[in-house]
Amino acid sequence: MNISLKKLYPFDWLIIGYSSLMILLISILGKPLSQYFDEILFYGSMIIIALLISNLIDEDKNRFMALIRFLYPVVLFTFFYNATGGTMFLIFDKFLDYQLVAFEKSLLGINITLYIDQNLLSVIPNEIFSFCYFCYYFMIPVYLTWLFIRKDDDILKESITAICLTFFFSYMLFFLYPIEGPRYHFADLFQNKIEGPIFRQLVEYIILNGAVRGGCMPSTHFAVALVINLFCFKYYRLFAWILLPINIGMAIGTFWGRFHYVSDVIIGCIIGILGTVFIWKYYSLWVNNKKLNIEL
């Protein structure tokens, strides 16, 4: 089978590029290297999967093929996230929460999460912010599936590219500045439990069973949710206004729920905005160049 790089979309290149970079960094920084065999195997497999799908799946054949071709990165996101757990201490040998906590307290005068614990917790706001946080888990598949059903394939591919860029850049920061989050760092200092009958319970279940310890800097939840919101503001204004209060609640819910520090949310916001603007600026150049190559 001949592998053609011309069949790769920008999101394929991001998957291959990120996986290749991780293999390179692990090979240079991983000590002992034998400890990272599973991670090297994983990232190598992701490269192969991206090359095979891009070359074997013809999206023009039918919509089922197009579904696989366009949305396969969504399936891989969870695996990429889980793989960050194995490289969390690639550079540092411990979490650096104490630095971030000291910085925020010097800037704000308080630790926001501890202040909320001692003064603001109540069932109603707990449930509201937990609901907003919980919405994230449906945001990516619902948004992208909706684009696919509408056959807005160009916007779909552009959106996936922006989401990939946001995720992968964030995952790099996970080991460049490892943070485990307030729920671990402040565990002995919390005075109250966050009570909530429905959405708080759902969020806790997901975090308990699916979250990687660490990977808090930045908040990928808010970064990616912001990317989707920005795309909606560009292409689907009505839905953008519907998402906006949910995403604001999500931003608050990240530190209200003890998952992140305020800094994590701010950095996630910056990454989401910069990543989206970057894709809006340069994705069209790739598309125009692709069309030119086809015409030639």
* pLDDT at 209 (0 to 100): 85
pLDDT along the chain (296 residues), means of 10: 78 96 94 90 96 90 92 94 93 93 92 93 95 94 94 94 96 94 92 93 89 88 96 94 95 93 95 94 74 44
- Nearest in space to 179 (alpha carbons), one of 260, 83, 96, 84: 96
* pLDDT at 294 (0 to 100): 42
* pLDDT at 296 (0 to 100): 37
Map the chain to HEC letters. Answer: CCCCHHHCCHHHHHHHHHHHHHHHHHHHHCCCHHHHHHHHHHHHHHHHHHHHHHHHCCCCCCHHHHHHHHHHHHHHHHHHHHHHHHHCCCCCCCCCHHHHHHHHHHHHCCCHHHHHHHHCCCHHHHHHHHHHHHHHHHHHHHHHHHHHHHCCHHHHHHHHHHHHHHHHHHHHHHHHCCCCCHHHHCCCCCCCCCCCCCHHHHHHHHHHHHCCCCCCCCCHHHHHHHHHHHHHHHHCHHHHHHHHHHHHHHHHHHHHCCCCCHHHHHHHHHHHHHHHHHHHHHHHHHHHHHHHHHHC
Rama region for 258: left / alpha / beta (φ>0; ψ in -120 to 50; rest): left
* pLDDT at 72 (0 to 100): 95
Q: How many angstroms separate the CA atoms of 13 and 73, rounded?
A: 11
Residues present in the chain in total: 296
* pLDDT at 213 (0 to 100): 87
* pLDDT at 31 (0 to 100): 85
Map 228-260 to HEC letters. Answer: HHHHHHHHCHHHHHHHHHHHHHHHHHHHHCCCC
* pLDDT at 62 (0 to 100): 92
* pLDDT at 285 (0 to 100): 76
| Amino acid (1-letter code) at residue 115 | Y
Question: Is residue 140 within 8 Å of residue 228, measured between CB atoms?
Answer: yes
